Amino acid sequence: MGRIIWIDATKGYAISLVVFGHVLGGAMARGWLSGADGNVPKLIYDYIYSFHMPLFFIISGALAINSIRADPRRAMLSRMGSIAWPYVLWGIVSILLWPAISQFTLNPIHDFNFYEGLKGGLKGLLLGQSSWFLWTLFLTQCVLIVALEIISIQMIFGLSVIVFLILAHKDWGTLSALLRFMPFLALGALVGRRIDLMKCGSTTASVTVGALLFGVLFVPVFLGMSEIPILFLCCGIIGSVASLIIAQSLDATWPNRLMAKCGAASLVVFLLHPYFQGTARELISWAMGPNIWWQLAIPTAAGVIGPTLIWLGAERSGLQWLFRLDLNRLLLRNERRKADRQVRG
């Protein structure tokens, strides 16, 4: 698949929810929402987290399956350049910057030993503790690529669901996320290009159906049951389908075109939004104190818009390598150079 506006827009809406969820979680952790009515902030937080990450894995699987089937080797190289590379590069950047930025977090470091900090940071990087999402996305893609050489996508999906349901009640460390989200990636791969069929007859009908599905999703979240393994899978699927239906119904309208920019930059937003939202939070705190509405709105906007502008600038200035490497193109270029040398020799 090439770039499709409504799919990029769906990713844009989803990454915006990711940023807002982090901002909201930070506000709750700091006690800024302790005076809010009842458990509304926690309910909103749980509602967002019931589907926004599954949505990313479903879309990733749907977009990946054709290239994996066409050439597994090239697909693996592609994932190494587009997922593993930015994970490692920006993980190291984060480790190096941590002594300077930790003072602005909930757990500042006062006595920092650079050697021990670097050693622990690199260990955490290898174990997926630097960015669970990119680490998990890479591993699930690797599992899909390898497994497709042996069994069908239907079996991969079925087995991933069974394994998750059996093992979900145990703590497997960072591998827990792999078990948790593999079913969604496999489901996306199972759907593949048929993801285009997730629509109703008209925009009105699509929005209505999507809204109804979001309403259904609210029930298990409100009852505190969304983390029950089978219901977690159902919630992730329901919320993802609702998002896809509504986004596709809007097609190339201006909201979708706007959010498609953010969606195309979603990886960069995920990597850089902590810096932008953290800076915005500190500026708002300095200027206005913990004014909750400003503390929710401004850091969220900064966390989405700032990294998107960085990505657009990187594209224009040839700095895409900071976030993505085309290893297949680099490999092909090296092979051509070797062939030219042989011819000349």
Cα(31)–Cα(172) distance, integer angstroms: 30
Residue 289 has a pLDDT of 78
Q: Is the separation of the CB atoms in 269 and 308 below 8 Å?
A: yes
Q: Is the separation of the CB atoms in 278 and 101 below 8 Å?
A: yes
- In 58-117, the DSSP E strands lie at none
Residue 232 has a pLDDT of 97
Q: Is the separation of the CB atoms in 32 and 292 below 8 Å?
A: yes
Rounded to 10 degrees, what is the CA torsion of 295, 246, 12, 291? 0
Report pLDDT digits (tens) over 221-250.
Answer: 999 999 999 999 999 999 999 999 999 999
**Range 314-320 contact pairs with CB under 8 angstroms and sequence separation of 24 or more:** 314/268
Cα(82)–Cα(71) distance, integer angstroms: 16
Its pTM stands at 0.91
Nearest Cα neighbor of 255 from 220, 203, 219 is 203
Domain count, the chain: 1
pLDDT average per 10 residues of sequence, the chain (345 residues): 85 96 90 73 94 96 94 93 94 82 64 54 78 93 96 97 95 91 97 86 90 96 94 97 94 91 95 94 87 91 97 94 88 71 64
Q: At which residue do the structure tokens 């915006």 appear?
A: 16
Q: Is the separation of the CB atoms in 57 and 137 below 8 Å?
A: yes
Range of the domain at 135: 5-344
Q: Is the separation of the CB atoms in 76 and 106 below 8 Å?
A: no
Q: At which residue do the structure tokens 């309403």 appear?
A: 215
Number of residues in the chain:
345
Q: Is 106 helix (H, G, I), strand (E, B) or coil?
A: coil
